[in-house]
């Protein structure tokens, strides 16, 4: 059965989503959502794809997923938040994903900023992109994969591989959005406190690759903008984290 279609998406998504666009194939749902936002897409509009030819990851990386394997979507937000607090919206997507997986009795965690992990393997990544007053939250969740390319075979997993259960991508999206909506429309302090419940980076020794070199320290908190606070006082707003112990 095809578990993604415009008809099923319209039927399953809550009233919080005013409009949904399903694209069997596109370059990137984030790019499509940003373009749609420029044409006036309202808050909560969602773009979903079965396949992306130019999926975008954090830190200018690519996000690759075979057709039919993954849940690939982007949500257009028009937040009423001060610009400096909008980084928390990206964290809200990770929190919502973990809450939803927990409702399926799947124990997930977050590696700062926003990798959703099952055990120590990445099952989903989130990329927030801003343009003017709009923030687009894009998420890629591995759902049906039973294997991965050698480069990520040791570090990636999917819902199916981790649980040996089967999943319907439309239902997974609807569940994820139902947890996201109250977080993005609620007080930002709630995102920050809920993030602390799911984030496995806090309290750990980490190595952060900052591009121009690395820093090793204990991760102690996130600040009000979503940046990672290290014990030595340094805050990191973007970078790659390795959790050491």
Q: In the complex, which residues of this chain contact ligand BTN (CB under 6 A)?
A: 28-30, 52, 55-58, 61, 63, 72-74, 115, 125-127, 138-140
Q: Which is nearer to ligand BTN, 15 or 211 (CB)?
A: 211
Q: Which is nearer to ligand BTN, 73 or 194 (CB)?
A: 73
Residue 54 CB, nearest approach to ligand BTN (Å): 7
Q: Which is nearer to ligand BTN, 59 or 189 (CB)?
A: 59
Q: Which is nearer to ligand BTN, 90 or 230 (CB)?
A: 90
Residue 26 CB, nearest approach to ligand BTN (Å): 9
Contact 111, 3 (CB under 8 A): no
Task: Return phi, psi of residue 201, to 5°.
Answer: -75, -35
Kindly tell me the sign of the dihedral angle through the C-alpha atoms of 89, 95, 101, 107. positive
Q: Which is nearer to ligand BTN, 10 or 61 (CB)?
A: 61
Residue 139 CB, nearest approach to ligand BTN (Å): 6
A 10 A CB-CB count for 9 gives 20
Residue 13 CB, nearest approach to ligand BTN (Å): 16
Q: DSSP string of 27-48?
A: S-HHHHHHHHHHTTPPTT-EEE
* Structure-token match 């439309």, residue found: 170
Task: Return phi, psi of residue 229, to 5°.
Answer: -105, 125
Q: Which residue is nearest to ligand BTN (CB)?
A: 125
Residue 173 CB, nearest approach to ligand BTN (Å): 11
Contact 210, 172 (CB under 8 A): no
């Amino acid at each position: 059965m095809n578990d993604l279609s415009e008809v099923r998406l319209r039927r399953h998504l809550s009233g919080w989503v005013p409009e949904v666009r399903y694209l069997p194939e596109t370059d990137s749902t984030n790019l499509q959502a940003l373009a749609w936002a420029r044409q006036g897409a309202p808050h909560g509009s969602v773009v979903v794809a079965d396949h992306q030819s130019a999926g975008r990851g954090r830190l200018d990386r690519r996000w690759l997923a075979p057709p039919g394997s993954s849940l690939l979507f982007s949500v257009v937000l028009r937040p009423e938040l001060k610009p400096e607090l909008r980084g928390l919206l990206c964290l809200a997507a990770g929190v919502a994903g973990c809450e939803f997986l927990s409702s399926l009795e799947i124990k997930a965690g977050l590696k700062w900023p926003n990798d959703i992990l099952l055990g120590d393997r990445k099952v989903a990544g989130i990329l927030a992109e801003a343009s003017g007053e709009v923030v687009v939250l894009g998420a890629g969740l591995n759902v049906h994969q039973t294997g991965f390319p050698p480069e990520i075979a040791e570090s990636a997993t999917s819902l199916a591989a981790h649980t040996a259960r089967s999943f319907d991508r439309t239902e997974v999206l609807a569940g994820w959005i139902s947890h996201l909506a109250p977080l993005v429309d609620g007080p930002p302090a709630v995102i920050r406190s809920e993030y602390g419940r799911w984030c496995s980076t806090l309290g750990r020794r980490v190595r952060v690759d900052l591009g121009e070199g690395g820093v090793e320290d204990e991760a102690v908190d996130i600040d009000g903008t979503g940046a990672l606070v290290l014990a030595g006082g340094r805050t990191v707003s973007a970078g790659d984290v390795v959790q050491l112990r």
